Amino acid sequence: MIVSNPNSTGNRVVAISAVLFLVFDATVLGIGYWMARQIADDAVTINLAGRQRMLSQRMVKALLQFDIARREGRVGNAALRELRESVELFDTTLAAFAHGGNAIAGDGQPMYQAAVTSEQGADLVLETLRVWSPYGRALRALGRPGGVSTEVLAGLVGDAQRTNLVLLDLANRLTSRVEDASRGKTDKLRRLQVLAFVLALLNFTVMLHAVWRRMRGLRWRHDQMQRIVRRDALTGLPNRVGLLEMLQSELSQPCSERGGLVVGFLDLDGFKQVNDRHGHAAGDEVLRQVTGRLRGRLRHTDLIGRIGGDEFVVLLHQVAAPEQVKPVLEGLVGAMREPFDVAGEPVTVGLSVGAVHVCDSDVSAEQLVHLADQTMYRVKHADGVCWLLVGLQPGTGQLADVALSSQLQTVIAGDC
């Protein structure tokens, strides 16, 4: 018998879902790392743009101090040195904003600064370069040998105050633009991160569903295999394994809950001759028809199984008194009286039944079936007897004949 698995793709779905879960999880982590790097880089750019404002003001202050020193007849080296340092730092940072390159961090260490993008304010950087170029050249001229004249210095001081306001405005706008761009990028990255997280959750749900289906498929296969192991393929009845399990389950319950139990061992008479004369296919057909007739004579609470060949076992439940099963046993035997139709030819078989009634006993299911088998052989060797019911003494594995009426005290049999 071939058993198909309704979840044959379960392994593949689980594997794909697991890989996708790892991909989505890695994507979420990657976006988080990328977002952290972007925020860190933008924070540096914002800090440098803020420092440009401070440097522009320092240059004006140093220029004023140098002008005052010149007017007072002093050299003004300290102011000139501060001015040169501020000009150099401002110029280096602005070049990095424009083209990308090394800049000086707040701790004095060199660092790489990427060029400001159009979204961040590249146009503002170009405007700052346009304003700074002549202004920066004029400031650097102060440090050359000979310097500049008093009139040129006075004009430069006036220009510096006006230019400083322009540079401050450009630096402020650049800072705001970079902050806005940073927030925009962060929002996009967060949306991507949320999307990846949602996809990961959806994929995880799919994976859980696939695992559930896979487990259900495994249970289904297990049930199918158990059904194969416990079912007779020809008749569909429980086989020996399945029947013994059911019987043992019944015996494990107290008699006060399940009531008395009768185990009947059924053996067909003349079945070998059917096989020899008509062939095994005809014998199989007889067994199927026998199964149908036997089922029709049992109560809805009773069970029947085929334990091999032409042998069957019935479990009769809730038997308060042994005499209750007499109609059932007689019905089983009577079901064989009519010939069976096999390929248009009548075939006749008989039935011998040995039955054991048990209530409280420590006997196992295997032993109880064996006792019923022994009782059936007593029927086989008795002339004119088709069924026999015996009782099992409580607490023992020994048989005692059960009287179906007060008049019959020894072996009780059903006539054929």
- CATH code (residue 66): 1.20.120
Within this chain, do residues 401 and 329 fall inside the same structural domain, yes or no? yes
Give the largest Cα separation in the chain, rounded.
Answer: 152
What is d(CA 271, CA 310) in angstroms, rounded to the nearest whole number? 7
Within this chain, do residues 95 and 175 fall inside the same structural domain, yes or no? yes
Within this chain, do residues 37 and 137 fall inside the same structural domain, yes or no? yes
Which residues are within 8 A (CB) of 415 and not within 5 positions of it... i.e. 6 or more apart?
A: 384, 385, 386
Q: Give the pLDDT mean for 117-125.
A: 88
Within this chain, do residues 201 and 253 fall inside the same structural domain, yes or no? no
Q: What is the CATH number of the domain that holds 299?
A: 3.30.70.270
What is d(CA 216, CA 194) in angstroms, rounded to the nearest whole number? 32
pLDDT, tens digit (0-9, with 9 covering 90-100), for 193-248: 888 888 888 888 888 888 888 888 778 877 777 667 788 989 999 999 999 999 99
Q: Is residue 223 part of a domain?
A: no
CB atoms within 10 A of CB 230: 17
Q: Is residue 213 part of a domain?
A: no
What is d(CA 224, CA 142) in angstroms, rounded to the nearest whole number? 97
Q: Is residue 168 part of a domain?
A: yes
Q: Is residue 407 part of a domain?
A: yes
Within this chain, do residues 399 and 304 fall inside the same structural domain, yes or no? yes
State residue 321 phi and psi, 5-degree precision: -135, 140
What is d(CA 237, CA 240) in angstroms, rounded to the nearest whole number? 10
Q: Is residue 235 part of a domain?
A: no
Within this chain, do residues 250 and 134 fall inside the same structural domain, yes or no? no
* Domain end (from 207, 229, 261): 207
Q: Is residue 377 part of a domain?
A: yes
- Domain total in the chain: 2
pLDDT, tens digit (0-9, with 9 covering 90-100), for 258-277: 788 999 999 999 999 999 99
Q: Which H helix or E strand runs over 12?
A: helix 10-71
Within this chain, do residues 264 and 401 fall inside the same structural domain, yes or no? yes
Burial class (CB in 10 A: 0-12, 13-18, 19+), 259: middle
The domain of 189 spans 10-207
pLDDT, tens digit (0-9, with 9 covering 90-100), for 281-323: 999 999 999 999 999 999 998 999 999 999 999 999 988 888 8
pLDDT, tens digit (0-9, with 9 covering 90-100), for 174-191: 999 999 888 888 888 888
